Amino acid sequence: MPMKKRRVTSADIARAAGVSQATVSYVINDVPTQSISPTTRARILEAATSLGYTPYGPAKTLATGRSNLVLMVLPGWPIGYAFSAALDEVETRLAAVGISLLMYRIIRPSQRTPSHGRPSGRSRSSASTPSTRPRLARCVTPALR
C-alpha cells in the first residue's frame, strides 16, 4: 500500500525560503498591514509553488471564521431548465468572488428510488467549468436536470 504524501505546511515553506513561519503566513494570506519586501514575497511564493503548497480549507475556516460556502437546499421534485440556468448563474457569480455553492437536495423516503441511492444531497462545486458541466451534470447533479 503506497504511503500517503504529507501535506505541505507553512513551516515547510518557511524552511525552504529561509524566513519565519509568521512571514510565510503574512504573504500567503496577503495581510495588508505587514510590509514584506518584494524579493522576500517572491521567494516565499516560489517556495510554496515548488513544494506544491495548497491552502487547507478547514484550517482557513477556523482561522477566519468564514467557510466561503453557501448552502442551498433544493426540493425533491424535478427542477426545470429556467431554474437550473438561474442556479448556474448564482454559482458563477459566487465563484467569481471566491465562494462555493453547495446544493443539497431533500429526498423523502417515499421519493427514493435505486437511482437516488441514499437520501443524501447532491453538491456542485465552483470548480466546475463550462467544459466539465455536462459530465458533472450526469454524475453529480441529477437533481438539477
Sole residue written with cell 498591514 = 33
Cα distance between residue 133 and residue 20, in whole Å: 42
Residues 36 and 94 in one domain: no
Residues 77 and 50 in one domain: no
Residue 15 sits in a domain whose CATH number is 1.10.260.40
* pLDDT at residue number 109: 67
Q: Does some domain include residue 50?
A: yes
Q: Does some domain include residue 1?
A: no
Domain range for 132 is: 69-144
Cα distance between residue 126 and residue 82, in whole Å: 20
Q: Does some domain include residue 61?
A: no
Residues 46 and 92 in one domain: no
Radius of gyration of the chain from its Cα atoms, rounded to whole angstroms: 20
Amino acid at 52: G
| CB atoms near residue 27 (< 10 Å) | 23
Q: Does some domain include residue 102?
A: yes
Number of domains in the chain: 2
What grid cell was written down for 107?
429526498
Are 25 and 41 in contact by the 8 Å Cβ rule? The answer is: no
Amino acid at 75: P
What three-state secondary structure class fits 11? Answer: helix
Question: Last residue of a domain, which of 35, 56, 77?
Answer: 56
* pLDDT at residue number 3: 66
Are 24 and 45 in contact by the 8 Å Cβ rule? The answer is: no
* pLDDT at residue number 110: 67
pLDDT beneath 70: ranges in the chain: 1-3, 109-145
